[in-house]
Amino acid sequence: MSASSPLPQRRILGLIFLTVFMDIIGFSIVIPLFPHLLDYYIKAEGSAGTLIGALNAAAEWMGGDTDFKKTVLFGGLLSTLYSLLQFIFSPLWGALSDRIGRRRVLTLTLAGNALSYLVWIFAAQFWVVVLTRLVCGMMAGNIAVASAAAADVTDEKDRTKGMAVVGIAIGLGFVFGPVIGGLASSVQFSDLAHGVSFGLNPFSVPALIAASMALLNFILVGRYFPETLPEDRRAAADAKRPSIFDLATVRSSAVRRTSFANLVYQVAFTGMENTIVFLTFALFVYSPRDNAWLFLFNGACMIFAQGLARQLVKRLGQRKVIMLGMLIAAGAFFVVAWIPATPAVAGDGAKTTFYLGLGLISFATGLILPSVSALVSLYSDASEQGRNLGILRSAGSLARVIGPVTAALLYFHFGSHFWVYIGGALLMLPAIWVVRGLPEPESERLKA
């Protein structure tokens, strides 16, 4: 499909948005469930002879003296395992789509996701849950394939718009997925069908919704998604996808430094994101439903910031908006860090302080992430925009490998959230220093 025909391009970008949005919703449904899910399996089968029993023993040997510390550690490991597989498989799926086409790879990965969620519905044992997350991680390369499809239907001038469609879909998916998962967890199959077992568990309804979303996504792609990479262009498509390991080969030092600052910020943010539900469980005994409203609040703060960012960019420029966001984030991390880890000591004002800190972190992220992508685009020649934005996304993927496990180990070792959030605040210092030294993009200098 030619990028010069605007209506087909708009339609395809809309389908790409819908595909990515639904996929991220299915993946993120599990996020607010983690503390309760892990606690359930530890109590149900935490003895020797099971996978979680073996992990339980290892955690106790490492100093895990409470079930809560174990759930934090297991949650971090599961999140990191998923992200690591996504990081490994994304370029493989992307390269395969260069050879056999985007549509065929998307249908394959979406079918794999639907199957894994279907198995999760009947996950009577913890090893089944781990298996489903492994499969989901391997199939998560469909985001890279959707990004490649967006690049197929946009020319160099519109490439940033195509990448923005994918980015917005990811952001909104992470807002609505946890909300759906948290609200759905209050519905139990045991309430609907007495005496039915087949491995059904307290999290089968969220799993059913995730499976339904993936199956619907599979049908929509199979029926309506056009092939965006014609056969005559497949031989010329890049077999190697851009990754963070290609950063040293980027000609623009400004792009390299911006990508590094993005990596550092996202390590801090994903560490917070991974531990937030454990923190609410420890401080406020939040249920998955309570966490759903928390994620909705965070999403609203992020969306508000993204709308405000357009006005701020006109006044300050992309670089200063990023610095402003990182300064806000540093202060917000400190605010949350100083909330006492013991509910009795924290007092009634802890919840207000917590929401203030988390809201500001989400607000800062809404300022930072779009401006980082825009800044990389402004620093890049037209012929390099797609590659450089791909490297930037790869930096974010690597952060999702590093951030969760690092935060989980800190939380596990110290038994509280303090060093997780102090660490996040301290990471802002090198990130701000790098952004402060970046040059003003030429287009913004001309406006000034």
What is the mean predicted confidence (pLDDT) over 258-262? 93
What is the mean predicted confidence (pLDDT) over 286-297? 92
Tokens 């952001």 sit at which residue?
171
Calpha distance 170→172 (Å, rounded): 6
Q: Is the pLDDT of residue 242 over 80?
A: no
Q: What DSSP character marks residue 439?
A: P
pLDDT at residue number 2: 40
pLDDT at residue number 428: 97
334, 395 Cβ separation under 8 angstroms: no
Tokens 């759905």 sit at which residue?
184
Q: Strand runs (DSSP E) across 317-401, as ranges? A: none
Calpha distance 60→55 (Å, rounded): 9
Can you give the C-alpha Rg of the chain in angstroms? 22
Alpha helices in 140-158 (DSSP H): 142-152
Confidence of residue 141 (pLDDT cuts 50, 70, 90): confident
Provide DSSP, 178-233.
Answer: HHHHHHHTT--HHHHSTT--TT--TTHHHHHHHHHHHHHHHHHHHHHPPP-S-HHH
Instruction: Determine whether domain 243-438 maps to CATH 3.30.70.100.
Output: no
Confidence of residue 240 (pLDDT cuts 50, 70, 90): low
Question: Domain 1-241 carries which CATH code?
Answer: 1.20.1250.20
Q: Which of 217-226, 310-319, 381-390, 413-422 has the lowest mean pLDDT?
A: 381-390
Q: Is the pLDDT of residue 194 over 80?
A: no
What is the mean predicted confidence (pLDDT) over 165-184? 88
Q: What DSSP character marks residue 141?
A: T
Indicate if 243-438 has the same CATH topology as 1-241: yes
Q: Which two tokens stand for residue 58?
A: 């290892």
Report the percent of the chain where pLDDT is more than 90.
38
371, 145 Cβ separation under 8 angstroms: no
Give the pLDDT confidence of 21-32 residue by residue, as tens digits: 998 898 889 989
Domain assignments of the chain as residue spans, ordered by start: 1-241, 243-438
225, 19 Cβ separation under 8 angstroms: yes
Tell me the pLDDT of the chain averaged across its residues: 84
- 197: helix, strand or coil: coil
Give the pLDDT confidence of 409-431 residue by residue, as tens digits: 999 988 889 999 999 999 999 99
Calpha distance 351→286 (Å, rounded): 11
Q: Which two tokens stand for residue 119?
A: 């198995």
Q: What DSSP character marks residue 239?
A: S
Pick from 309, 261, 194: nearest CA to 429: 261
Calpha distance 83→136 (Å, rounded): 10
How many Å from the N-terminal Cα to the C-terminal Cα in the chain? 39
Q: Is the pLDDT of residue 237 over 80?
A: no
Q: Is the pLDDT of residue 211 over 70?
A: yes
